[in-house]
Structure 1
Amino acid sequence: MTISANSDIEKPGIKTSGIKKLRIDIVSDVMCPWCVIGYKGLNEALKQLEGELEADIHWQPFELNPNMSEQGQELGEHIAEKYGSTPEQSQQNRDHITQLGAKLGFEFNFTEGQRILNTFKAHQLLHWAGESSNLQTELKMALLTAYFTQGRDVHDDEVLAQIVGEVGLDADFARKLLADGVYAGDVRALQEQWRQMGVTAVPTFIIDEKYMISGGQPPEVFVQGLRQMIE
């Protein structure tokens, strides 16, 4: 079920007092700027709903380009091939994303020659972080910042290990996980699971494994949708 700002949600017959706890799975890719905007919108909404609900956030893997080569692809070329956008349209879209990010406190630095990268390794580390620590969101945001703000190669093993260390996780253990492909099968299985559940684009927010909010929505959409659920 996709929930928008105007959707009607069936209310449960029994209401509980106190703070409502919700599990929120965010299906996302590190190459997706709208995932930054969507999460920032959700986070702002959760601040506004403080005292009404408590969110347990889990990041789920989704590769927008699962067949991306090891070398990646120049961003403008990729957008033209995949979406048929002209260079002017692509630039307008990047400018719009940059402005939205600035309003939400995130800096996008789109540069000449920037490349779309393969994110399979990043998803393996995110899955590990979610299983072994409470730092999964910190790692996700560090990866997004590394790529979109700092222009770092988040496909490179050593760069990934450095980012892992920067958020307080074990960089050496991360290197070993990548070398051995410990979580490769789990990530493939999870991606297929989300596709079978109807997820075709990111970000997609799955609320309590029942409802969906899709796209990089502004805070007010999340506030209204989540408040309808907790009522």
Structure 2
Amino acid sequence: MKNSDQPLQIDIVSDVVCPWCIIGYRQLAEALKDTNTAHEIHWHPFELNPNMPAEGQNLREHIIEKYGSSVQESNESRTRMAAAGADVGFEFNFTDDTRMHNTFNLHQLLHWADQQGHMHDLKQALFTAHFTNNRNISDNAVLADIAAEIGLDRAEALAVVEDQRFAKDVREAEQHSAQQGIQGVPAVIFNGRHLVSGAQGIENFTRILKQLAENPD
């Protein structure tokens, strides 16, 4: 395997309410650790449901409406996701009250956190808040609490989502991804050139990383 002084650039387009985004990231993280790959991760916004009302919607109702799934199919999907999460050390706690959320404010908060070097930490905290702890991430006060829990200023975090100061930046980032042809998440781009879609599994990500190490271009 060739050694390179340059860390692998990894851009991940994802949404916090996308279960396969956290599963895919955890799979990738395991592969990065197993291959001892030097890397830099940059997260980019994507909204699964940009037209979702601010208060969100019951998740099961949303899935049935959006995909035409039956309750049984919804339950089977949740079981699959929970098992895939457990395989990479992430806990899903789906309940009858689990909700789908509009994530535009989340992405603005993440953009702000990125300016302070804390986007990755906040992204992980938001995944856990939503999927493990069923916190109401439609509530700006809850978002500010989560930011404070990872060491960011709560009052400033609340101001960011209330005054929408980064709305334009997030929209532009979303449009850039759309122009690159990204229509679903997770989308992982290695070194700005190699696009991999979906949660590939640890073995596949490991194989991809080894191929990139051999042929970085």
Same fold (TM over 0.5): yes
> Normalized against structure 1, the TM-score is what?
0.89
2:165 to 167, 182, 207: 182
1:75 offset after TM fit, Å? 1.0
2:20 to 26, 34, 39: 34
1:107 to 88, 91, 114: 91
Structure 1 segments, 4+ long, off by >6 Å, are: none
What is the rounded CA distance, in whole Å, between the counterparts of 1:228 and 1:115 in structure 2? 39
| SS of residue in 1 equivalent to 2:52 | coil
The residue aligned with 2:107 is 123
- Structure 1 residues 49-198: aligned runs within 5 Å: 49-50=35-36, 53-133=37-117, 135-198=118-181
Q: Aligned-pair RMSD on alpha carbons? A: 1.3
What is the percentage of aligned positions where both structures have the same residue? 47
What is the rounded CA distance, in whole Å, between the counterparts of 1:187 and 1:98 in structure 2? 30
1:113 offset after TM fit, Å? 2.3
Q: Tell whether the 8 Å contact from 1:58 to 1:130 is kept in structure 2 after alignment.
A: no
What is the rounded CA distance, in whole Å, between the counterparts of 1:144 and 1:17 in structure 2? 33
| SS of residue in 2 equivalent to 1:108 | coil
Q: Tell whether the 8 Å contact from 1:205 to 1:213 is kept in structure 2 after alignment.
A: yes
1:145 offset after TM fit, Å? 0.3
| SS of residue in 2 equivalent to 1:111 | coil
What is the rounded CA distance, in whole Å, between the counterparts of 1:71 and 1:136 in structure 2? 24
| Structure 2 segments unaligned to the other structure (5+ residues) | none
Q: Tell whether the 8 Å contact from 1:62 to 1:191 is kept in structure 2 after alignment.
A: yes
